């Protein structure tokens, strides 16, 4: 099989058995859902936007998954979707088909060797949440602990790999013309495939739980390794409300500001201090508590940054001088050289414009003591998307930042929905000061 691995057609042949077309494609599953009309009732687009745009987003939602993520990138470049919708897409989840109890049992037994009822004292066969590529069930361990058991839809990894190999073949012309970079497809595939390994996710949880300990307002689950495998992940049950329910309670401006500040600090603390971040901004992954605490769930997509990348971001964020200066230009060029990319003049202009038209506004380099950025006005979101698009168009996006960029877009979208006012630069400065030693 490995000899055929390099071509998608070879891959398709290597699947050999006749059912491969049905079970061997994630994209096929998504089409199946549309065809069977299963997706309709489940569509939930949670904000107030123009009706026509919403309908368009509904169509896009039907394509959740890797296809959606790729679509997201491509639409950034081509500008076919309204900005608000793009921002919403960033927060969508990769879904998998729902599993009936018999399939859940078969999957758990195949993965852990025993049926869920034999493993746990109690196991609820109806899932309480959808997770990336699977679903989550409530259970009670023999020791009496309430846990969340995340179960992956069978065969999803292979299905995703098959889709990617096909996508690579179809997008050859776009790759040749430089519109889609091979390294970008590699990066996306690597991250998405990594999400299918729940043992890796368990590592992510333990890593981030440890490194985020200084942030007292953040809670991460505990992993139960004895009841976990690459397809089943058992964690302590997290409490809190989803963004929707949190907002439905009409929290005061003060509470929203506090929550916004916490989300903002969490993001930047991860980038600059942890050098790794929870990079799936889907709203279901954040639970809000009444004390403005944040519980994190679903650590499938954690992006680990290189030390150089974090140092570079630190040097350009809150850059005190002029963005038109030769020094700032050198900072950009040096980093691009470091990662083996050539910074084309167009991309350089796009980066400087990005810094000037977005970051300078949201993160003023010399903030007043009581500086607050108001995220309720959607203009900043449009600025962000416009400048992102320019950067894509001029081929200036560094592969390593693709997932961080999506997480950043998700953060801004959430802050916008919270209508939070956040001391942005003060928070970043505080993190810089506290972590200077690194």
Partner 1 sequence: MSALTNYVMTTKKKATLKRTTRRAAAAKRPQGRRAQNKAAIRKRIVTAALSLFQTKGFDATTTKAIARKAGIAEGTVFNYFRTKEDIALHFFEQEVDQAIAAVRDNPRLRKAPIEERLFALVHSQLEFLAPYEKFIGAAFIHALKPASPLGIFSHRAQELRHRYVGFVQELLDESMPKHRHSPLTFLAPEVFWIYYLGALLYWLHDSSPGKQNTLAFLDRSLSIGVSVLKQGKL
List residues near partner 1 by CB under 8 A: 16-19, 22-24, 29, 32, 36, 97, 99-103, 106-107, 110-111, 125, 153-156, 158-159, 231
The smaller minimum CB distance to partner 1, of residues 156 and 431, is found at: 156
Q: How far apart are CA 386 and CA 390, in angstroms?
A: 6
The smaller minimum CB distance to partner 1, of residues 96 and 318, is found at: 96
Any idea what DSSP says for residue 374?
E
The smaller minimum CB distance to partner 1, of residues 156 and 317, is found at: 156
Q: Alpha helices of 218-323 — where are they, by DSSP H? A: 243-248, 253-269, 307-316
The smaller minimum CB distance to partner 1, of residues 62 and 381, is found at: 62
Contact 61, 67 (CB under 8 A): no
The smaller minimum CB distance to partner 1, of residues 300 and 405, is found at: 300
Q: Alpha helices of 270-397 — where are they, by DSSP H? A: 307-316, 326-338, 345-354, 360-362, 379-393
CA–CA distance from 292 to each of 47, 73, 242, 259 (Å)?
Answer: 22, 33, 12, 5
- Enumerate the β-bridge partners of residue 236: 147
- Minimum Å distance from CB 22 to partner 1? 5
Phi then psi dihedrals of residue 280, to 5 deg: -110, 100
Q: Is 299 helix (H, G, I), strand (E, B) or coil?
A: coil
The smaller minimum CB distance to partner 1, of residues 19 and 144, is found at: 19
Contact 375, 422 (CB under 8 A): yes
- Minimum Å distance from CB 232 to partner 1? 11
- Minimum Å distance from CB 28 to partner 1? 8
Contact 72, 280 (CB under 8 A): no
The smaller minimum CB distance to partner 1, of residues 161 and 400, is found at: 161
Shortest CA distance to 91 belongs to which of 376, 354, 412?
412
- Minimum Å distance from CB 296 to partner 1? 28
Q: Which two tokens stand for residue 399?
A: 């592969």
Contact 284, 295 (CB under 8 A): no
The smaller minimum CB distance to partner 1, of residues 17 and 252, is found at: 17
Contact 286, 296 (CB under 8 A): yes
- Minimum Å distance from CB 110 to partner 1? 4
Q: Are strands 146-152 and 276-278 parallel, antiparallel or unpaired?
A: unpaired
- Minimum Å distance from CB 135 to partner 1? 13
- Minimum Å distance from CB 12 to partner 1? 14
Contact 389, 408 (CB under 8 A): no
- Minimum Å distance from CB 165 to partner 1? 16
The smaller minimum CB distance to partner 1, of residues 25 and 204, is found at: 25
Q: How far apart are CA 88 and CA 58, in angstroms?
A: 11
- Minimum Å distance from CB 35 to partner 1? 8
């Amino acid at each position: 099989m490995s000899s055929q691995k390099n071509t998608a057609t070879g891959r398709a042949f290597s699947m050999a058995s006749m059912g491969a077309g049905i079970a061997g494609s994630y994209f096929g599953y998504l089409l199946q859902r549309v065809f069977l009309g299963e997706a309709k009732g489940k569509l939930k687009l949670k904000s107030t936007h123009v009706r026509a745009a919403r309908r368009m987003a509904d169509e896009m939602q039907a394509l959740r998954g890797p296809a959606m993520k790729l679509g997201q990138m491509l639409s950034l470049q081509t500008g076919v979707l309204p900005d608000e919708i793009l921002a919403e897409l960033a927060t969508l989840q990769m879904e998998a088909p729902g599993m009936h109890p018999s399939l859940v049992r078969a999957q758990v037994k195949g993965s852990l060797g025993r049926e869920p009822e034999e493993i746990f004292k109690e196991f609820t066969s109806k899932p309480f949440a959808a997770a990336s590529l699977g679903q989550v069930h409530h259970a009670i361990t023999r020791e009496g602990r309430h846990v969340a058991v995340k179960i992956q839809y069978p065969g999803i990894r292979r299905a995703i790999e098959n889709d990617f190999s096909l996508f690579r073949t179809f997008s050859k012309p776009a790759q040749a013309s430089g519109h889609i970079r091979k390294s970008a497809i590699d990066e996306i595939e690597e991250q998405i495939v990594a999400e299918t390994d729940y043992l890796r996710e368990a590592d992510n949880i333990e890593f981030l739980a440890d490194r985020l300990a200084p942030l007292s307002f953040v809670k991460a689950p505990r992993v139960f390794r004895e009841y976990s495998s690459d397809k089943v992940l058992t964690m302590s049950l997290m409490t809190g409300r989803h963004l929707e329910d949190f907002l439905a309670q009409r929290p005061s401006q003060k509470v929203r500001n506090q929550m916004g500040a916490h989300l903002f600090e969490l993001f930047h603390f991860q980038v600059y201090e942890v050098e790794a971040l929870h990079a799936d901004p889907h709203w279901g992954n954040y639970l809000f508590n009444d004390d403005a605490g944040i519980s994190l769930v679903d650590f499938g997509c954690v992006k680990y940054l290189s030390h150089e990348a974090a140092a570079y971001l630190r040097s350009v964020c809150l850059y005190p001088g002029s963005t038109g200066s030769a020094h700032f230009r050198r900072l950009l060029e040096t980093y691009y050289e470091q990662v083996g990319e050539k910074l084309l003049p167009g991309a350089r202009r796009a980066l400087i414009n990005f810094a000037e038209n977005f970051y300078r506004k949201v993160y003023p380099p010399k903030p007043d003591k009581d500086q607050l950025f108001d995220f309720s006005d959607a203009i900043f979101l449009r600025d962000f998307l416009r400048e992102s698009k320019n950067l894509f168009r001029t081929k200036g996006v560094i592969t390593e930042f693709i997932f961080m960029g999506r997480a950043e877009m998700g953060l801004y979208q959430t802050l916008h929905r919270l209508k939070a006012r956040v001391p942005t630069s003060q928070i970043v400065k505080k993190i810089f000061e506290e972590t200077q030693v690194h």
